[in-house]
Each structure stands twice: as structure tokens, then as C-alpha cells.
Amino acid sequence: MPIDHLQLKFSISSDLRELSRVRGLLEKRANKYGLKGEDLYLVASAVDEVCANLIEHDPKKWGKAKIHFTLRIDRENLEIEILDRGGYFNPTRRKTEKVDLEEVFIRRRGIGLVMVKKIMDEFFYSRTPDGDNLLTLRKFLHK
């Protein structure tokens, strides 16, 4: 009987060098469920961007804290939950309709969340009862 869904839990340390591991796991698993080529690259880039922001914006945790993931894939959806014990920041509330070109070109900031929201079909934020940040990114795999 073929496997029609996957759930995988894993963690990385809060270190930019760990992001290639996340990308590798995501690409390997999602490829088996039909996410290929440009779509796979874009989803991996969105997850990479979210994780890089978590790490870069909380330097006191670099290499010390953990980021926890739950990856769920079936024939219809790819969903990745990203759990972080950082300070409160709700990225879904950040205005991303208009890009501040000055911020992008001079400060090299301001395009990441725009990119994530364009790539992913759903992007949710919640605060857990323990005070952790939980981001949920979902991509529909309709063919």
C-alpha cells in the first residue's frame, strides 16, 4: 500500500548554517509528493526566509536556542509549522502590500515577508499557551 501522507518532526539550532539541512529535508520529502521544480524551490526559499529572520532578529539566541518544525505533506497540501521561543513578533500583521523600495535598496530589508506571502497559499501566526511563536505555512499541491 503506498504512503499517502507524511508527518516529520525535527529541530535545528538557531544557526544560519543549519538552514541547508532544513532545505534538504523539505526538498527530499516534498519531491515525493509532487512538488517539483520551481514550486519546490520557491517553497524552500519561503521557509528559508522565515527561519533566517527568526535567527537574525534574535542574536542572543544564535547557536543556543532551537527552532522546531513539523512537516506534514499529503497529496493535497504541504504544511510546515515552525515553533520558536523568541520574543513576540507577528509577521502576518506586518503590512506587505506595498514594498518600501528605499528600505529594500538601502537597508536591504523589507522584501522577505512579501516574498513568503506571495509564495505560500496560507500563512498563519499564533502564540502557544507556553508563549512560543508558531508560524504555519501551507502550500496547496493541486495539479
* Structural domain containing residue 84: 5-140
pLDDT by residue, tens only, the chain of 143 residues: 345 788 989 999 888 899 999 999 898 888 888 788 898 999 999 999 899 888 887 766 666 789 999 999 988 899 999 998 877 666 666 555 565 555 555 555 557 777 888 899 999 989 999 888 999 999 998 75
Q: What is the pTM of this model?
A: 0.81
Whichever domain contains 69, its CATH number is 3.30.565.10
User: How far is the C-alpha of 32 from the C-alpha of 18, rounded, in Å?
Assistant: 23
Q: Are strands 66-74 and 77-84 parallel, antiparallel or unpaired?
A: antiparallel
Domain count, the chain: 1
